[in-house]
Chains A and B, each alone.
Chain A
């Protein structure tokens, strides 16, 4: 599956300035691993030491928060959009 990953402003400098990039994988975890392989610096920005998402990072698959799906194990569909966003907005 090829997924379009949308990169937030705050991480673009660590992602070669790209606003989005295509990554292959079967699950959200695999897509993120593919992203880290390409841009190593993103790993520590997005995930904790134990591999889970940092608590102020939200990840959406086709607009839905992955915590309402199967989290990092959520399967991804070909051509779907994975959006990484800061969690601190609003209220």
Chain B
């Protein structure tokens, strides 16, 4: 395997591949480093090797941080272990593009994962690494989607799990977590309070907190979104990606995935313009971007996009740097724009997304309306989660005709249908 060591993103200090996430010298984040010097150099052979892999993220095992390769009896059988994530549809959304005055828009629908969000990618990798390291209990601090995924992966693999969530989470996300038999802990406070608690607990308990002490491995799972987009576009890079930003991890790791494949010769050309999407009620990264700052001032979230409600984003500085160096940006939209984004995506693509996808769609709409996107660009909209998890966002946004079961009642009660 090509995985080599952990390295501080700030001071480049190196560490062994253990359950570590912070540099002891400068407190910077640790990231997984690879050594591909002995990997296959023939691009055609590399592509064939990927294409011959299972229909899930383990087809990219050469680029993921597992010491023992993909989990399971063999690479080919990896899809039978745990909850296989990935290989979600990339849909050409011509009706959406037309509405926005663009030529080519693709929707990466990551709601089509086992627990209906992109979090299954990161959890698959974190939990596989946790097992390699000998952990028997997994845990997380979550805004909801991660809670679903950690609880489900714990159940699938027979690992005990503890899931910490803010007490005011959407009911659908709470129910879709508890059902898996996890130990669900609702914390009075915001996600940032939950995160602080889990950071403290991770020092006291011998647990694999997927997004704390296992975070370097966990975050690598998001690269598979980039790998899939490129593979599904026929080994090509898009011109622009619009991605939701909470901690900034997904946003930065999608770019890292593209960059790693470009370094290996699997892709050619410029890195896509990376556009981050936030809700106005929790926009520390968009605010810092607009003000030209290189660090984010934390905020107290107040938005319907609870899955993005991280007021103190760990990867904020890196997200800002990425947006600037690729010619992208980070924008924020209001709750009403988020609801309109959900409706627009649903009504032009048939994809019902949660509030985070409403944020992403609304930011794309805003960029298109401002003329920031060249109509000839190939744009990928990353939809990270499922609309059924945030039903309150669409409640009372449309009319239902209530009638008696007669033809007359239908004719009298549903005027538009009669006039057609």
Task: Tell whether A38 is near chain B: CB-to-CB under 8 Å.
Answer: no
How long is the Cα–Cα vector from A10 to B13 in the complex, in angstroms? Answer: 14
Contact: A89 with B141, CB < 8 Å?
Answer: yes
A83 partner residues in chain B, CB cutoff 8 A: 196, 200
Contact: A90 with B212, CB < 8 Å?
Answer: yes
For residue A91, which residue of chain B has the nearest CB? B247
A45 partner residues in chain B, CB cutoff 8 A: 24-27
Chain A interface, >50% SS class: mixed
Contact: A85 with B297, CB < 8 Å?
Answer: no
How long is the Cα–Cα vector from A10 to B202 in the complex, in angstroms? Answer: 12
Task: Tell whether B10 is near chain A: CB-to-CB under 8 Å.
Answer: yes
Q: How far is the CB of A63 from chain B (nearest CB, A)?
A: 7
Contact: B26 with A91, CB < 8 Å?
Answer: no
Task: Tell whether B215 is near chain A: CB-to-CB under 8 Å.
Answer: yes
Contact: A68 with B22, CB < 8 Å?
Answer: no
Contact digits for A1-25, partner B, Cβ 8 Å, 1 yes 0 no: 0000010111101000000000000
Contact: B298 with A91, CB < 8 Å?
Answer: no
- Which A59-91 residues have a C-beta within 8 angstroms of B? 60, 63, 65, 67-68, 83, 85-91
Among B52-60, B78-86, B270-278, B308-316, the one that faces the other chain is B308-316
Task: Tell whether B249 is near chain A: CB-to-CB under 8 Å.
Answer: yes
B196 partner residues in chain A, CB cutoff 8 A: 58, 60, 63, 83, 85
Task: Tell whether B193 is near chain A: CB-to-CB under 8 Å.
Answer: yes
For residue B245, which residue of chain A has the nearest CB? A91
Q: How far is the CB of A74 from chain B (nearest CB, A)?
A: 15
Task: Tell whether A56 is near chain B: CB-to-CB under 8 Å.
Answer: yes
For residue B192, which residue of chain A has the nearest CB? A65
Interface size class of A (residues with CB under 8 A): 20 to 34
Contact: B199 with A91, CB < 8 Å?
Answer: no
Contact: A10 with B27, CB < 8 Å?
Answer: yes
A9 partner residues in chain B, CB cutoff 8 A: 203
How long is the Cα–Cα vector from A72 to B203 in the complex, in angstroms? Answer: 25
Contact: A86 with B21, CB < 8 Å?
Answer: yes
B177 partner residues in chain A, CB cutoff 8 A: none
Task: Tell whether B248 is near chain A: CB-to-CB under 8 Å.
Answer: yes
For residue B213, which residue of chain A has the nearest CB? A89
For residue B189, which residue of chain A has the nearest CB? A63
Contact: A90 with B310, CB < 8 Å?
Answer: yes
Task: Tell whether B198 is near chain A: CB-to-CB under 8 Å.
Answer: yes
A68 partner residues in chain B, CB cutoff 8 A: 298, 300
How long is the Cα–Cα vector from A8 to B211 in the complex, in angstroms? Answer: 17
How long is the Cα–Cα vector from A82 to B114 in the complex, in angstroms? Answer: 41
For residue B247, which residue of chain A has the nearest CB? A91
How long is the Cα–Cα vector from A45 to B211 in the complex, in angstroms? Answer: 23
Contact: B297 with A67, CB < 8 Å?
Answer: yes
Task: Tell whether B375 is near chain A: CB-to-CB under 8 Å.
Answer: no
Task: Tell whether B29 is near chain A: CB-to-CB under 8 Å.
Answer: yes
Contact digits for B200-213, partner A, Cβ 8 Å, 1 yes 0 no: 10110000010110
Contact: B315 with A91, CB < 8 Å?
Answer: yes
Contact: B29 with A88, CB < 8 Å?
Answer: yes
Task: Tell whether B195 is near chain A: CB-to-CB under 8 Å.
Answer: yes
Task: Tell whether B352 is near chain A: CB-to-CB under 8 Å.
Answer: no
A88-B312 contact in complex given A10-B27, A65-B192, A65-B298, C-beta closer than 8 Å: no
Residue from A10, A13, A63, A88 in contact with B314 in the complex, judged by beta carbons closer than 8 Å: A88
How long is the Cα–Cα vector from A88 to B312 in the complex, in angstroms? Answer: 10
Q: How far is the CB of B358 from chain A (nearest CB, A)?
A: 19
Contact: B212 with A91, CB < 8 Å?
Answer: no
Contact: A89 with B27, CB < 8 Å?
Answer: no
A91-B300 contact in complex given A55-B317, A56-B29, C-beta closer than 8 Å: no
B23 partner residues in chain A, CB cutoff 8 A: 10
Q: How far is the CB of A85 from chain B (nearest CB, A)?
A: 5
A89 partner residues in chain B, CB cutoff 8 A: 21, 141, 195, 198-199, 202, 209, 211-212, 215, 314
Contact: B313 with A91, CB < 8 Å?
Answer: yes
B227 partner residues in chain A, CB cutoff 8 A: none
Contact: A67 with B215, CB < 8 Å?
Answer: no
Residue from B141, B215, B310 in contact with A88 in the complex, judged by beta carbons closer than 8 Å: B215
A54-B27 contact in complex given A67-B297, A89-B198, A89-B199, C-beta closer than 8 Å: yes
17 more CB-based (< 8 A) A-B contacts, given A89-B209, A91-B215 = A13-B24, A45-B24, A45-B27, A55-B317, A56-B26, A67-B298, A68-B298, A88-B29, A89-B195, A90-B141, A90-B211, A90-B312, A91-B211, A91-B246, A91-B247, A91-B250, A91-B310
6 contacts between A and B (CB under 8 A): A58-B312, A63-B193, A85-B196, A85-B199, A91-B215, A91-B248
